[in-house]
């Protein structure tokens, strides 16, 4: 299912925050993304209505299985792309910014091929020791 780039960014941010904090609230997303409280509130409502997040009575936000799947896919793309660009000599800030744009438009097929290539290159540079 294709969702808007902004929704993917919100889901990815929730995933990253949930790895750092035991509980994620809207204010955490405001602080992380530097968006206004009303913007985050509208976005969280839309994510909830579309089944990507749930919120408990205390305002804690949780990814649903569908939301987590999208967030993990985007985060994997971001991580691999930014690491690869830095390996190629791009500075960290530019690599992160470019990865953030590319992660939303690259097809699953192209990303899988790129990932395969990066992993093969990594293995050839760091071969596993042979059993003796």
Task: Answer yes or no: are the C-beta atoms of 31 and 16 closer than 8 Å.
Answer: no
Answer yes or no: is pLDDT of 126 > 80.
no
Q: For residue range 41-91, what is the model confidence (pLDDT) as tens digits? A: 999 999 999 999 999 999 999 999 999 999 999 999 999 999 999 999 999
How confident is the model at residue 128, as a pLDDT? 65
Strands (E), the chain: 53-55, 61-63
Cα separation, 62 vs 126, in Å, equals 38
Indicate the pTM of the whole model.
Answer: 0.85
How confident is the model at residue 13, as a pLDDT? 97
How confident is the model at residue 1, as a pLDDT? 46
Answer yes or no: is pLDDT of 92 > 50.
yes
How confident is the model at residue 121, as a pLDDT? 85
């Amino acid at each position: 299912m294709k969702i808007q780039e902004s929704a993917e960014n919100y889901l990815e941010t929730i995933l990253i925050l949930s790895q750092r904090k035991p509980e994620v609230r809207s204010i955490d997303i405001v602080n992380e993304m530097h968006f206004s409280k009303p913007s985050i509130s509208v976005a969280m409502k839309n994510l909830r209505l579309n089944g990507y997040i749930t919120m408990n009575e205390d305002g804690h936000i949780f990814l649903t299985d569908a939301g987590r799947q999208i967030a993990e896919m985007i985060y994997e793309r971001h991580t691999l792309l930014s690491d690869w660009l830095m390996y190629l000599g791009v500075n960290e800030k530019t690599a992160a910014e470019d990865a953030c744009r590319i992660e939303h438009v690259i097809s699953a097929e192209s990303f899988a091929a790129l990932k395969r290539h990066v992993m093969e290159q990594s293995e050839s540079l760091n071969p596993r020791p042979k059993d003796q």
